[in-house]
Amino acid sequence: MSAALTPPFSQDSLRQLFTKPYGAPAPTAEQWRQAYANDVHFEDPTQSREGVEAYILAQQGLMQRCDDVFLEADAVAIDGDTAFVEWRMGLKIKGIEFLYPGTSRLRFGADGRIMDHRDYFDFVGPTFGPVPLVGGFVRWLYKRFVA
């Protein structure tokens, strides 16, 4: 996200918000504040945050923990004050690339900014699957639950 994005969001602007190639800078705190409501609720499989400043800290923390991050948007659907964005995120950490396919559900406030952001993705499989020894156990465990 290199340009300032201001509401109301379209499919194209949401696709831009959910796109960051490897090597590109992350959005700035000001860009996040333009897109997200001050009292935004954010939740994913690893955390729940309240407020735009907590959301910004979560995004900055992710960038600091990783050597690089990419995000690419696929399908985008908007219906009234709700949108869904299908995406793929890549994290490079200590020479290993972790890939997470997922979806975000966004709800917009009266001013058009995002007031509720919920990410849905499998955290465990892609995180621990590539790790020697642990990955085999995770795959075995998944098979036990879906077989």
Domains of the chain by residue range:
11-146
63-115, pLDDT tens digit by residue? 999 999 999 999 999 999 999 999 999 999 999 899 999 999 999 999 999 99
Residue 95 DSSP class: T
% pLDDT > 90, the chain: 83
d(CA 11, CA 24): 21
d(CA 86, CA 18): 9
CATH of 11-146 among 3.55.10.10, 3.10.450.50, 3.40.190.10, 3.20.20.70:
3.10.450.50
Maximum CA pair distance of the chain?
Answer: 50
- Is the predicted pLDDT of residue 1 greater than 70, yes or no? no
76's CB contacts (< 8 A; 6+ apart) are 11, 14, 15, 18, 83, 84, 85, 86
Q: Is the pTM of this model over 0.85?
A: yes
